Structure 1
């Protein structure tokens, strides 16, 4: 089998990072490199030609997940005439059964939280913390510093709702958080 072009290698790398971002939010960073590579139809052996380590992939995947969230917020900003309406639109989606049931496409603040608490890699933690801070700042009401409290309510509600999915409590948690916000 011949070597892939530089453009193909870059495309493969982007596919690996995107797959990892989804898999890590859905199942945690204990997902194996082999499983990430299999998800994009590549061999495990090619991983180390693209990445220095699995932790390097985790860092890039977290950065991509927060970029995807940034794009979602930008779409909310474009769709709504003022910041308050944009926040309310995102909160409605965030506290939905759809978001609860699809963590792979969901918020990295929630989806990666437990793994970030366990990692010793400072670069990965810094990427995660920057993404969390940016989201909290976007959630803040003009002139007030309530974005962190809003973020805590959102993330706590979605995590508890996911943990109780399939029970009436799950929907109750989402509704209570929506009412509180």
Structure 2
């Protein structure tokens, strides 16, 4: 049976969304194509009708994860004055929910180490998305001082989230999140 182009695009989107969550939860090498397709409620055999390789899916899934993060952070700053932008972003990013739900969180914190081992094209795409996130934090004028501060803010948020996820003690994890929130 032949499907419409719209159906094929919907199915592809379903695979990408499922992969974006699964890669952030398990890592790029922590889940295979068969399990990704199962998570999307599709058969393994249909994968290659949509993607040439797992690497192609990884690149699209990372992009989808960034889209989700950017939408969340853009919403956080939509109604705040420029001077409160950094505070709003830190408050939206450094949360228990974000710590506890890597599958729905930022691709940088979940996949940064994995991306460093991927192909150059995927790393360049990742770099462009990191740059866009830095620009969002810096705000409209993008002065070099504000950009440098935005880089520090992003690095602190991501590092703090990674540490908060890595420690076993809930109290220590909360301490890390609180310290990062206090820096803004």
Where do residues 80-159 of structure 1 align in structure 2 (5 Å cutoff)? Answer: 80-119=79-118, 121-140=119-138, 143=143, 144=145, 145=147, 146-159=149-162
Query: How many matched pairs?
Result: 178
1:15 corresponds to which residue? 14
Instruction: Give the superposition deviation at 1:60.
Output: 0.4
State whether structure 2 residue 70 is matched by structure 1 residue 70. yes
State whether structure 2 residue 158 is matched by structure 1 residue 164. no
TM-score relative to the length of structure 2: 0.90
Structure 2: stretches of 5+ with no match in the other structure: none
**Whole-angstrom CA distance in 2 between matches of 1:60 and 1:103:** 18
User: For the aligned residues, what is the CA RMSD?
Assistant: 1.5
State whether structure 2 residue 178 is matched by structure 1 residue 175. yes
Alignment CA distance shift 1:38-1:82 (3 Å): same
TM-score relative to the length of structure 1: 0.91
Instruction: Please say which of residues 136-145 and 15-24 is displaced more in the overlay.
Output: 136-145
Instruction: Please say which of residues 165-174 and 37-46 is displaced more in the overlay.
Output: 165-174
2:4 corresponds to which residue? 5
